[in-house]
Amino acid sequence: MSTIDRIDTSAPPRDLRLAGIAGWAATVMVFTGVIIISSTGAPEPNFDASADKIQQYLQTQDPWAVAVGGFLLAFGLVAWLWFVCGLAAALRRPGARPDLLSTVVLVSGTAAVAVMLNGAPQASEYRGDGLDPHAAQFAFDLTSVTLANMWVALGSLGLAAGWAILVGRREPGTPGQPAWPAWLGWWALAVGAGYLVVRMAFPSPLWYLPHILFWVWVLVVSTRMLRVRPATDAEAV
């Protein structure tokens, strides 16, 4: 059995490899940016923290850490868009089914970025030292709700991607080589459902579980994209 995975897709090899690189870059930059921002000053409070704790957290943020972390976070989200475009292309199987699921993946991933790029999650950290307790609490709550709304978009992406993977395995493709393993599909479905559950349970700290599992899933999919070699017409015969 060949050690090189094959995905039956209309996207050229370069597109899939680029999407895999973008997936890894997005994950590294997003998490590095968040760690840099939250590593200075007082510990980051919970969603339901008091106004005084929130004010202390925002007032003690290091301006350089916020600037560098915000830079990495913004560029990581742009890299995420590249990954989502590649994922949607990789899940699209021409002639095998309507493109609804891959379109939902693309739109959901774009919506998640749009929610985070509106500036609300970072505005309070840039001006945190000049906010009174109630203004700081409002700004922090706005950031928290923005993050929670992003979970809905990521949950939609997980459900659509998982569904597409599982449906694609039952459709004609490269002989003997399914497009994606079934466990990746079930993983995506579980994470997508988990995001919707924790959004309903907001502000519960349970959101860490589906969030971490989702980004590990992104790294696994990105790694497979880096290893993929689409089947040629001759190999498919």
pLDDT tens for the chain, 237 residues: list them: 444 444 444 444 445 889 999 999 999 999 999 899 888 777 878 777 788 888 888 877 888 888 888 889 999 999 999 999 999 988 886 665 557 899 999 999 999 998 887 766 566 666 656 677 788 788 888 888 888 899 999 999 999 999 999 987 765 554 333 468 999 999 999 999 999 999 998 888 888 999 999 999 999 999 999 886 654 433 433
Whether 1 maps to a domain, the answer reads: no
- Residue 131 sits at φ, ψ, to 5 deg, of -100, 140
Of the candidates 63, 60, 76, the one whose C-alpha atom is nearest the C-alpha of residue 28 is 76
Cβ 25 vs Cβ 79: under 8 Å: yes
Residue-range definition of the domain harbouring residue 41? 13-231
90 in a structural domain: yes
- How far apart CA 206 and CA 195 sit, in angstroms, is 10
Structural domain total, the chain:
1
The dihedrals phi and psi of 40, each to the nearest 5 degrees, come to -110, 155
Q: Residue 5 domain-assigned?
A: no
* Cβ atoms < 10 Å from Cβ of 205: 11
Would you say residue 151 lies in a domain? yes
Is 237 among the domain residues? no
- Domain assignment present for 152: yes
63 found inside a domain = yes
pLDDT at position 10 is 44
Q: What is the pLDDT of residue 120?
A: 62
Does residue 4 belong to any structural domain of this protein? no
- Rounded to a whole number, what is the largest CA-CA distance in the chain? 69
